[in-house]
Amino acid sequence: MGFVKEFKEFIMRGNVMDLAVGVIIGGAFSAIVTSLVDDVIGPIIGMICGGIDFSHLAITVGSAQLMIGNFIQAIINFLIVALVIFSIVKAFNKASSLAKKPEEEADPTTKICPFCKTEIALDATRCPNCTSQLQ
């Protein structure tokens, strides 16, 4: 009975749920990025490279046929997907950093008591720590 309780606590922790949501969204996002690479970016690169398709490239060793063309194509697809994801994440980080107000520009809400050097409210007229009258 203790194992089931521990497992339930493990599953219900926030980071496990966040990970599960991330995996599900990642799977859906992967389909979008794969379509972008296969249907939009891939054909453009194919036009630029003269229609080169590595998928049929193979080497025969004895009776085995090594389909290295598929491997090369998978590497190219990976690099394109990585570049697209990098660009999207970089744009998202840039947009979110522009939306945040820098800490330096935030209006102060506290001040330092000149007598006891403790932090007090900005509109305080008397220090609650040393009871000094403030100007």
Q: What average pLDDT does the segment 13-32 reach?
A: 81
Give residue 128's Cα distance to chain centre.
Answer: 45
The helices-and-strands tally (H runs, E runs) of the chain is: 4, 4
* pTM, rounded to two decimals: 0.47
Enumerate residues 6+ apart whose C-beta is below 8 A from 76.
45, 54
Assign a CATH topology to domain 2-100.
1.10.1200
85, 33 contact by CB (below 8 A): yes
Q: Give the Cα-Cα-Cα angle 49, 53, 55 (nearest 5 degrees).
A: 150
**What was the pLDDT predicted at 64?**
92
**What was the pLDDT predicted at 105?**
61
| 102: pLDDT strictly greater than 70 | no
Q: Which part of the chain is CATH 1.10.1200?
A: 2-100
| 40: pLDDT strictly greater than 60 | yes
| 37: pLDDT strictly greater than 80 | no
